[in-house]
Structure 1
């Protein structure tokens, strides 16, 4: 069986790493091996956002790099389809594997089905209900086209059923992101907060000389256009961070390139870089970010992946979004996260409430570190049965 997997952006790398390891283990213990081809579209293409993650997670160099780079959504989608079509025609895989909800997921699933190749979507069925999110469009189209839909939780499986997806296509396998977390917790735990800060501190910043211990800092990530692209939204958030959060904690903020650009654009850069209780860091590697999450007293984020990590680690989490495609991580479902949107009064209210909470790890069903093994087993079963 020949499998061709597609990655395009950093969230994909964390999901493909355990899948590649599971294929390697399968090939060691079975007479019939799986031929695997890894395609990187190049949507995230700089060292910190791409290459470093490949090395850190032990992902082999891509067999093919389409080198699409930056551009508008339409440019990325179009250029990826053009380049990926040639890859499919040349290699003729039995399965095309797409993960998550980035532009590469959509474009590669569309062109694969146009050429009549079977598509498997890892992390299928996630729904935010927000059609203004590009990722929601990517998820909906990819799931509609895919032949095999592998879901991370039962809520996602039910979403697909409610949309009329045939039961035979839906398979609940668990969350592959947790495979990566479980495989890397030990390595992350060996890192020190001091070393992470010293290695990644943005040079021109000023911060308190005290390096925080576990439980003494808040952790922040912010990158979504809905939070950083509007001055009316972004400025109040920054003011809340600098005026309120830093009263209770040292705040560690790894800066996403988009957020950094907007801080400069709205003349906020000097305000944050000179704050004595705010530590600004460059984008972090997986182990570094995981280590900080393990030690944070509270997380403020608009990242879907960090919601999942906070759920398993028990880090109390304020999700700066009005909706989430990962409701299983919310407190009402037993998780660690609460939706606060970008309304400052709502954020403030939940922030002070959350400070009173203890860490409460929660592990949804099949978030056990063995999802990739189940995925490989299911693909082999499907290929042998020829049911699709």
Structure 2
């Protein structure tokens, strides 16, 4: 059985690494050999993705690196679609596996659908219901043309059922979250970043365009972080783009800003922080995986089960709400429940499902 995996951003490599490990373990003990061909579109150029990155994270290097990044969404997706189609015509896979909600996800799914190759979508069924987010468009369209929709949560399954997927010729399977697989595997490799010695600190990330491109929202968030940091240090690995915007707007920052960190360093920060403040999607879950309360500086989230469980709270960019919620969430005790995101074997279940469909 041959699987072509299409990925385009560093977080997707981390997710895909869990499946690659499952494939290697399977091939050691089974007569049915699974061949995985990895296609990296290059959507997010990342200088950190050197040979060391692949070696440290035990990730197979891509078989194809397309180098397609930058430009408008339509142009990028179109160029990716064209080159992925060429790869699929050459490889003739049994499955195309895509992750999440990037332009690379949609391009890989579209290329496969046009060639009548079955698509498996990992992280299917997630919804923010905000059509201004390109990620929402990508995940909606990818779900529509997928043969197997691998959901990370019961909420995702419910979303698909409400949209009528239970009456379609496709399989909806709740396998849990592959990022929990990754968190469990990589914890042993966590590495302390270059930060001052703090007895306690909050971890913060700010990168989403809805916050960084809106001066009012950005100033409000920074003021809140300044206030919180006066009591407990706030450590913020800051994306260069966000840092430039803050400098350009001459916004005063009174918390600890550090350079962007590796995945291993982020795990260390998650292990040792007292609270997470973020506008990231993935970090909301990872905070939970490491039993840390989270304050999400967005107006919506795809991970509504964390809100319902009381371990995460949505605050938008409201300065006072950020401060009040952070202080309140610090009192929360977060216990990881396998009912929410599975038990850390999502990738094995994904592989087993693909093999069962292939051999049926």
Pairwise same-fold verdict (TM > 0.5): yes
* Cα distance in 1, alignment partners of residues 52 and 230 from structure 2: 34
Are residues 1:240 and 2:224 paired? yes
Cα pair 2:23 2:351 within 8 Å, conserved: yes
After superposition, give the CA deviation of every residue in 1:106-154 in whole Å (9 maximum; x if it has no partner).
1111121012111100111111111111111011000001011011111
Secondary structure of 1:125's counterpart equals: coil
With normalisation by structure 2, the TM-score equals: 0.95
RMSD: 1.7
Instruction: Work out whether 1:175 is the aligned partner of 2:152.
Output: no
Matched, 1:341 2:322: no
Structure 1 counterpart SS, 2:165: coil
Which stretches in structure 1 are left out of the alignment for 5+ residues?
A: 199-209
Q: Distance in 2 between matches of 1:169 and 1:311?
A: 28
Indicate the SS of the match to 1:126.
coil
The equivalent of 2:326 in structure 1 is 351
Q: 1:229 aligns with which of 199, 209, 213?
A: 213
Q: Which residue in 2 is equivalent to 1:267? A: 250
Matches within 5 A, 1:88-103: 88-103=88-103
Cα offset, 1:221, TM superposition = 0.5
CA-CA distance at 1:159 after TM superposition: 0.7
**Residues paired across the two proteins, number:** 358
Contact 1:11 1:100 (8 Å CA) reproduced: no
Q: Is the 8 A contact 1:4 1:97 kept in 2?
A: yes
CA drift of 1:264 comes to 2.6
3-state SS of paired residue (1:44): coil
Q: Counterpart of 1:381?
A: 356
- CA spacing shift, 1:52–1:267, aligned 2, 3 Å: farther
Q: Deviations over 1:290-346 (max 9, x none)?
A: 11011111110011111111122221110111111111222x2x2521111112232
- Report the counterpart of residue 343 of structure 2 in structure 1: 368
Partner of 2:233: 250
The whole-number CA distance in structure 2 between the counterparts of 1:49 and 1:60 is: 12
The answer for the alignment partner of 2:18 in structure 1 is 18
In the other structure, the counterpart of 2:273 is 296
What pairs up with 1:133-282 in 2 under 5 angstroms?
133-166=133-166, 168-188=170-190, 191-192=191-192, 196-197=193-194, 211-213=197-199, 216-242=200-226, 244-268=227-251, 271-272=252-253, 275=254, 278-282=255-259
Q: In 1, distance between residues paired with 2:305 and 2:14?
A: 19
| Pairwise CA distance, 1:251 | 1.3
Q: Residue deviations 1:239-266, cap 9 Å, x none? A: 2212x01111111110123312322331
TM-score by length of 1: 0.88
Using the alignment, how far apart are the partners of 1:50 and 1:325 within structure 2? 31
2:284 paired residue number: 307
Q: Provide the rounded CA distance (Å) in 1 between the counterparts of 2:50 and 2:317.
A: 29
Is the Cα–Cα contact under 8 Å of residues 311 and 332 in structure 2 kept in the other structure? Answer: no
